[in-house]
Amino acid sequence: MVYTTTTWTLTNIIAKTRAVTGTPSGDQLSDQAVVDYINQYLAFTMPSELKVQIQNNFLAFKTTPGINVYPFPSSTFLTDSPGAYADGFPLIFYEDPDIFYQDWPQQYSVDSVAAGTGAQFTFTGNTQGFPIIPGSYFITDSVQVLQDNGSGVLVDQAPGGTGFGTINYITGAFSATFQNAPAATLTVYDKYIAYQGNRPQGVLFFENQFTFMPVPDQVYQIQMQGFINPTELINATDTPAQPEWGPLIAYGAAVEIFSDRGDMENYERYYALLKRYENVALSRTIQEYTDQQGVPRF
C-alpha cells in the first residue's frame, strides 16, 4: 500500500477544526462559519503571535519630487520592519513624531500679501519662500481662512464657505478669492512651510504613513522590509503559506469557537495544544536565528 503525505488544504483544516470542537455536522456549525473562524484567526490573531515568522518581503516604492508623505500599503503588508534606504543610502527610522520633528523642524514662514480694502475679493502673488510642502499653505485675513488640500487647491475653512483658490507648490504662485472682501482694517497674509529639496535622510512611520525629510527633490528608490498580510483561505484546495501552519490554524479556530460557546473547560484544554503548534511554527525561524550571529546596525 502506498501512503501519501497529508497536505493542509482548507478542506483538511475545516475537518481538523470540526474534529477538535466535536462538530462534525454542518447542522451544528456551517462550513462558512468554520471558514470565518479559520480566516479570522489567520488574518488577525496569528500575525500578532507569530510576527517574526510571518513572511517578509521588500516594501519598495519610488518618491515623487516635492512629495514627502506616502501611505502605508496596508492592503498588502501588516507592518514594516525598522530600517529603510533611499537609493541604497540608509535612512534614520523614526516611530516617535516628537523626536522626528525635533530633528526635522517644520517651521512656518509668514508673508504679508496686501491690506484689505473692503472691496477686493481676489489676491494673487508669489510666496517669498518656495517650493512649499503640500498641505502647509493657507491664506487669511484673520477672519476667513483658505487652506490648501494637498493637491494645490485652496478650500474655504468656514462651514458652507465659498472662498476658493490655487497654490503652485513649486513656484509659490497663488490666487485666493475670499467669500467676503477683507475689511480695510485687516491685513491679508499667508503662512506655509518652504523647503530645500534633497535626498531623504530620515523617515517617520506614524498613523500608517511614511513622512520623509528632507523633502525629495527627485525620484528616489525607497526600500525596506515589510511583514506580508497572510492570504485568506477561500477555496477548498487553498493551502497556508507554510505547511506547519495547518494544525496551528485549526487549533486557533477551535479555541475561538470554544470561547464563543463559553466552553472554557475545552478552551483551556486545547489552548496548550495551540501553544505547542505555535512553537512548531516558530521552530524554523528560531533555528535560523540560532545559526546566525547578531550584526549591529553601525
Q: Which amino acid is at 284?
A: R
- The per-residue pLDDT for 243 is 84
How far is the C-alpha of 251 from the C-alpha of 275, rounded, in Å? 9
Kindly provide the residue ranges of all beta strands, DSSP E only, lying in 106-169, ordered along the sequence.
109-115, 122-126, 138-140, 145-148, 153-156, 164-167
- The per-residue pLDDT for 58 is 82
- The closest of 215, 213, 219 to 201, measured between CA atoms, is 213
* Tens digit of each residue's pLDDT, the chain (298 residues): 565 566 899 999 999 999 999 999 888 899 999 999 999 998 888 877 776 555 667 888 999 999 999 998 876 666 666 789 999 999 999 999 999 999 999 999 999 999 999 999 999 999 999 999 999 999 999 999 999 999 999 999 999 999 999 999 999 999 999 999 999 999 999 999 999 999 999 999 998 899 999 999 999 999 988 777 778 899 999 998 888 889 999 999 999 999 999 999 999 999 999 999 888 888 765 544 444 455 555 5
How far is the C-alpha of 205 from the C-alpha of 83, rounded, in Å? 11
Cis peptide before 216 (omega within 30 of 0): no
55 neighbors 227 (Cβ within 8 angstroms):
yes
- The per-residue pLDDT for 221 is 97
Longest C-alpha distance within the chain, in Å? 99
How far is the C-alpha of 135 from the C-alpha of 149, rounded, in Å? 6
pTM: 0.67
| 44 C-beta neighbours (distance < 10 Å), count | 10
- The per-residue pLDDT for 51 is 63
